Amino acid sequence: MFDTALTFNDLLFMLKGAGVTLSVTAFAVVGGTLLGVFFGVLRSQISPWAALPLTFVLDIFRSVPLLIQLILANAFQAIAGWGISPFVTSCIVLALYTSAYCTEIVRGAIEAVPSVTRRAARSLGMTWGQDLTQIVFPMALRVGLPSWIGLTLGVMKDSALVMWLGIIELLRASQILVTRLQEPMFILLVTGAIYFALSFPIARLGSRLEKRWQEND
Partner 1 sequence: MIEIENVHKSFGALQVLKGIDLTVQRGEVVSVIGGSGSGKSTLLTCINGLEPIDKGRIVVDGTEVHARDTDLNKLRRKIGIVFQQFNAFPHLTVLENVTLAPRKVKGMGRKDAEEIAVQQLSHVGLADKLNVYPSRLSGGQQQRMAIARALAMSPDYILFDEVTSALDPQLVGEVLDTLKLLADEGMTMICVTHEMSFARDVSDRVAFFHKGVMAEIGAPDQIFGDPQQEETRQFLSSVR
User: Is position 212 an interface residue for partner 1 (rule: CB under 8 A)?
Assistant: no
User: Is position 96 an interface residue for partner 1 (rule: CB under 8 A)?
Assistant: no
Shortest distance in whole angstroms from residue 211 CB to partner 1 = 14
Binding mask 141-180 for partner 1 (x = CB under 8 A): -x--------------------------------------
Q: Contacting partner 1 (CB under 8 A), which of 41, 121, 167, 170?
A: 121
**Torsion angle defined by CA atoms of residues 16, 17, 20 and 22, in that order, rounded to the nearest 10 degrees:** -100
User: Is position 217 an interface residue for partner 1 (rule: CB under 8 A)?
Assistant: yes
Residue among 202, 166, 150, 13 at smallest CA distance from 158: 150
User: Is position 119 an interface residue for partner 1 (rule: CB under 8 A)?
Assistant: yes
Q: Which of residues 192-211 bind partner 1 (CB under 8 A)?
A: none
Residue among 45, 64, 9, 184 at smallest CA distance from 128: 45
Euclidean distance between CA atoms 175 and 10, whole angstroms: 12
Euclidean distance between CA atoms 179 and 62, whole angstroms: 33
Binding site for partner 1 (CB under 8 A): 114, 116-117, 119-127, 130, 134-135, 138-139, 142, 213, 216-217
